Amino acid sequence: MLVAPPPSRPAIPLAPVLSLASFYRSAGGRAATVLDAGEARLVTSGRVAIALALRELGVGAGDTVLLPAYHSASMVPPVLWRGAAPAFYRIGPDAGADLEHIAALLRAAPRARVVVATHFFGFPQPLAALRALCDEHGVALLEDCAHAFIGEHEGRPLGAWGDYAAASIMKFLPLYEGGALVSARHPLAGARLRPAGAGFELKAAFNTFERGFAFGRLRPLHAALWLPLRAKDLAWNALKRGRHAGSPPAALAPASSDSGYGFDPDWIDKRASLASRLVLALSSSSRVAARRRRNYLRLLEALFGLPGVRPLHPRLPDGVCPWLFPLLADDADGLAQRLLAAGVPLTRFGYPLWDGVDDATCPNSARLSRQVLGLPCHQELREDEFSWLIATVRREVCT
């Protein structure tokens, strides 16, 4: 029986962790990914892919980039890096893009260059309408597929409608880092990537394994690697102690790999690690999609009708591969505290929003930022872990 650890450590993994099951194949055809939408470059994160897309489009000082008012704080820095100004458009109650507000902003901003459309939690935006709107105004469409590496809409992979698409592969596979820039419409000749160095390659490989070890996966390999992992920790600690006071440690990996919101331009032209590329090549997208959909539907059934909570999306359309299970909670702060104390990991996407984005900018974005708790539904949750998750969330919701 799974027992929750102390509050400082979650009982189950929020994101996928590596195990032998990660490489199982699933019956049936392969599920479409963003990589099927066009020419692709594998980079270290989704925010790097956004920055590369803006650079490919020639976005610069004085230009405007339209972003959803509901967003991750990591989405804005790539826009600022290009010297452009973000303008935030409204969304509906279910996080669907407000097309009328986008059109109004495009008319008001003569140097608007790009509309970024985010497929929140894996659920597609109205892509045909967005494509037509962008074409009408002569601006580019950038599909933000950070939550939707796997998925289809109207028979085409997500990412196929935009001039470019940016994806975060590490949200869907057991990776320490990994993102993708994809274009169905333009060659990626300007996106020339180079290796990030031996230190990054080793860190990416070791951390991929260590995240699995932390949750009891790959025990024989953990035992075999105990000595080199210990030597790695001692060497890294010695390196940090040997630095001059006030000198920052070497950036062996981007901030995105450790859940930070920072954006470091030094990672712009660096490719994903060999470890990430191998895991991607060996993983089954159909297995990932099938298990995530199954887990989403089980959470939907288990939590539907409980007091004070409701699913953001009470239906799971065909072709959707969810990133998380977004649960709307009336008392989100209180419930989040109880769940975290019980060992349940969660994500509060868009909390907080970029400075200055509030109820006046978009009431729906402010509400979702405050009320949505993202629960794990990924493919690497074992049956005992998932049963514990359901029982614990039900208990804390009803407390």
CA gap 86, 230 in Å, rounded = 45
Cβ(148)–Cβ(353) below 8 Å = no
Cβ(284)–Cβ(26) below 8 Å = yes
Amino acid at 106: L
Q: If 0-12 CB within 10 Å is exposed, 13-18 middle and 19+ buried, where does residue 62 land?
A: exposed
Under DSSP, the state recorded for 170 is G
Residue 113, CA distances (Å) to 96, 131, 250 in order: 21, 14, 36
The pLDDT score that the predictor gives to residue 262 is 80
Cβ(285)–Cβ(30) below 8 Å = yes
Residue 306 lies in a domain: yes
Residue 338 lies in a domain: yes
What b/e sequence results for 165-197 when a residue is b if at least 16 CB atoms lie within 10 Å of its CB, and e otherwise? bbbbbbbbbbbbbbbbbbbbeeebeebebeebe
Cβ(120)–Cβ(95) below 8 Å = yes
The pLDDT score that the predictor gives to residue 227 is 72
CA gap 239, 270 in Å, rounded = 24
Tell me the two tokens of residue 313.
């999306």
CATH code for the domain in which residue 380 is found: 3.90.1150.10
| 121 backbone φψ class: left, alpha, beta (φ>0; ψ -120 to 50) | left
Question: What is this structure's pTM?
Answer: 0.92
Tell me the two tokens of residue 333.
């702060």
Residue 137 lies in a domain: no
The pLDDT score that the predictor gives to residue 372 is 98
Short-list 346, 398, 343, CA closest to 372: 346
CA atoms within 13 A on the CB side of 274: 10
Residue with tokens 């072709």: 319
Tell me the two tokens of residue 71.
């967003």
Residue 81 lies in a domain: no
Cβ(126)–Cβ(99) below 8 Å = yes
The mean pLDDT values, 10 residues at a time, for the chain of 399 residues are 59 97 86 97 96 96 98 96 98 98 95 98 98 98 98 96 98 97 91 90 92 92 75 60 51 68 89 97 96 98 97 97 98 98 97 96 98 98 98 97
Residue 379 lies in a domain: yes
- Could you list the residue range(s) of the whole structural domain that residue 349 is in? 20-24+284-397
Cβ(339)–Cβ(286) below 8 Å = no
Radius of gyration of the chain (CA): 21
Residue 309 lies in a domain: yes
Q: What is the largest CA-CA distance in the chain?
A: 62
As for how many domains the chain has, the answer is 1
